[in-house]
Amino acid sequence: MLYTHGVGGKTVAMDTVLWSRPEESRAGTPLLLMLHGYGTDERRMSTHFDAMPRSFTCAAPRAPHDISGDFGWFLLDYFLVNDFAQVVASASKVLAWIDTVQAKYAFSSISLLGYSQGMAMATTLLRLRPGLAAAAVGLSGFVLDNALLAAMEPLEAKVPFYWARDTADLVINPDAAAFTAEWLAANTELTEATYAGMGHNIRADELVDVASFLTVNVPGSFRPSVDQPNG
C-alpha cells in the first residue's frame, strides 16, 4: 500500500509524496529518499519500494517542474544543459522538505537514491549539504558539471555511493558519463557496477545489489524477512 500526504496537513516544499509506510510507522526508521527521472513522476520510484530493505521508510516525491504533463527537477536537453537557478531552487525545496520531515519523524538516518536526472539532484544535495546522507545510490544517471558547485570540492564528507549503469546507455552522453565517473571517484566512497543490456532503465538484479549495498552501509537497515515473535 502507498501513502500520499504532506506533513501535519500543511503545504510543504513538495506537495505530492508517496510513502512506503503509514505516518504512524515512520518515526525513528532510516529514510530512503527516491528521486525520479526527467519526464516521469513519483510513481516511477514507488514501484521499487518493495525491493528496498524492509526497515527503510521510502519516500518518493514529485519533482516541481511540469514536463508536458510529467515532471522534472529542472529543464534540460539531450546534452544535459541546464539552468543552474532551477537546479538550486529544486534542491532547496528538497532540503527544506527533508528538514520538515526530519523534525517530525526523527529518522535515524537519511539515504538518497536517484534515477537518471534524479541522480543529478541527489548528488547536488550531497554537494550543497555535505554529511546529509548515510549512503547514496545513482541509477543510470549523471552528476552536474558546474563550476559554482565545484568551488568547495573535493568534499570532505565522502558518502558510500553505489553507481549502477549500462555503459552502452545512449541517454547519458559520453562527456557526462566521464565527468560523473571522475566526480564520484574524487568525492565519494564509490562502488561502481555495470549491467550490460540494461539500457537507460532499472532492472531487478540491479535492485537486489542496491538493497545489499544499503544494508551494508546504513545502520539499522537490516530486518529479517520473517519477523520473529518476542520471547
Whether residue 221 is predicted with pLDDT greater than 90 in this model: the reply is no
pTM for this one? 0.89
Whether residue 1 is predicted with pLDDT greater than 50 in this model: the reply is yes
Q: What is the pLDDT of residues 80-133, one digit of tens each?
A: 666 788 999 999 999 999 999 999 999 999 999 999 999 999 999 999 999 999
Q: What is the dihedral of CA 35, 39, 40, 42, to 10 degrees?
A: 40
Whether residue 6 is predicted with pLDDT greater than 70 in this model: the reply is no
Question: Are 87 and 74 within 8 A, CB to CB?
Answer: yes
**The three grid cell numbers given for residue 141, joined into one nine-digit string:** 544517471
Which domains does the chain possess?
A: 3-217 (3.40.50.1820)
CB neighbour class for 38 (10 Å; exposed up to 12, middle 13-18, buried from 19): buried
The whole-number average pLDDT for the span 185-209 is 98
Residue type, 220: G
Q: What is the pLDDT of residues 143-182, one digit of tens each?
A: 999 999 999 899 998 999 999 999 999 999 999 999 999 9
pLDDT for res 220: 81
CB neighbour class for 230 (10 Å; exposed up to 12, middle 13-18, buried from 19): exposed
Whether residue 228 is predicted with pLDDT greater than 70 in this model: the reply is no
Instruction: Please state, in angstroms and rounded to a whole number, the distance separating the CA atoms of residues 159 and 188.
Output: 5
pLDDT for res 3: 53
Whether residue 8 is predicted with pLDDT greater than 80 in this model: the reply is no
Question: Are 200 and 116 within 8 A, CB to CB?
Answer: yes
With CA atoms as reference, report the closest residue to 71 among 33, 121, 31, 111: 121
* First CA to last CA distance, the chain: 29
With CA atoms as reference, report the closest residue to 32 among 7, 52, 11, 2: 52
Mean pLDDT of the chain: 89
